[in-house]
């Protein structure tokens, strides 16, 4: 008696739900991602073997190869409130649009009195603008004022977040404010020394020097 052959059917998998999920994930990341801003200056930091990561809550001073100083700090609200104090200190006429734009900037390097005009430029115009950095000489030490007022506002925000976490019974990452200097490998020594002196004048004796990780030699 001949054998009866059953028809074979290859298994199938409906990919429609997976495709839908993939598009949902892509849409989510597109809507929530924040694009990295163009840095006002390119720094070639010296290399080292240290691999410690830069902390999140940080005040950073960047020095390029020409000795120009740039200032940046963490925190949207901290940057906005720092600018409010700066505006009062230097009698700047700023509106809410200025504060919003500054709060979204990671770093800048212009004379404080030119800041209102600088903030209203587009990102491409800022990139093409030849800035002279923030003055930090003995007769016009604006950088010292930025660091001092910035750390005060950072301390206020730090305390506010700490109390808010305590009220809501949530864990609080107690990192505190850190300070960092990122100097180009060709930056003049006296300029770097001057920035370090500013920290010392403000009784800040602990800070990080940002470097590039040194690559191990290939054998």
Residue 10 has a pLDDT of: 61
Asked if 138 and 190 touch (Cβ cutoff 8 Å), the reply is no
**pTM (predicted TM-score):** 0.75
Looking at per-residue pLDDT, the higher value among 141 and 4 belongs to: 141
Bridging pattern class, strands 58-63 and 69-73? antiparallel
Domain boundaries, the chain: 49-213
Quote the Cα angle for 197-201-204, to 5°.
90
Asked if 209 and 183 touch (Cβ cutoff 8 Å), the reply is yes
Bridging pattern class, strands 140-141 and 47-48? unpaired
Query: What is the C-alpha to C-alpha distance for residues 156 and 23, in angstroms, rounded to an integer?
Result: 42
Query: Over 90: is that where the pLDDT of 26 sits?
Result: no
Residue 28 has a pLDDT of: 66
First to last CA, the chain: 73
Query: What is the C-alpha to C-alpha distance for residues 88 and 131, in angstroms, rounded to an integer?
Result: 23
Name the least confident of 85-89, 94-98, 117-121, 157-161. 157-161
Asked if 45 and 182 touch (Cβ cutoff 8 Å), the reply is yes
């Amino acid at each position: 008696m001949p054998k009866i052959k059953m028809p074979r059917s290859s298994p199938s998998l409906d990919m429609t739900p997976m495709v839908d999920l993939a598009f949902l994930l892509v849409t989510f990341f597109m809507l929530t991602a924040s694009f990295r801003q163009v840095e006002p200056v390119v720094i070639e930091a010296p290399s080292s073997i240290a691999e410690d990561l830069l902390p999140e809550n940080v005040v950073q001073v960047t020095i390029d190869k020409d000795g120009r100083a740039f200032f940046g700090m963490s925190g949207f609200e901290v940057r906005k409130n720092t600018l409010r104090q700066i505006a009062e200190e230097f009698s700047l006429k700023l509106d809410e649009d200025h504060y919003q734009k500054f709060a979204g900037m990671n770093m800048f390097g212009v004379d404080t009195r030119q800041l209102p005009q600088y903030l209203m430029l587009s990102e491409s115009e800022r990139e093409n603008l030849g800035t002279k950095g923030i003055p930090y000489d003995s007769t016009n030490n604006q950088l010292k004022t930025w660091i001092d007022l910035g750390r005060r506002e950072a301390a206020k925000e730090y305390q506010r977040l700490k109390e808010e976490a305590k009220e809501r019974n949530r864990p609080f990452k107690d990192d505190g404010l850190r300070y960092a200097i990122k100097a180009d490998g060709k930056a003049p020594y006296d300029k770097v020394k001057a920035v370090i002196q500013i920290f010392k004048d403000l009784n800040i004796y602990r800070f990080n020097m940002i470097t590039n990780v040194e690559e191990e030699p290939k054998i």
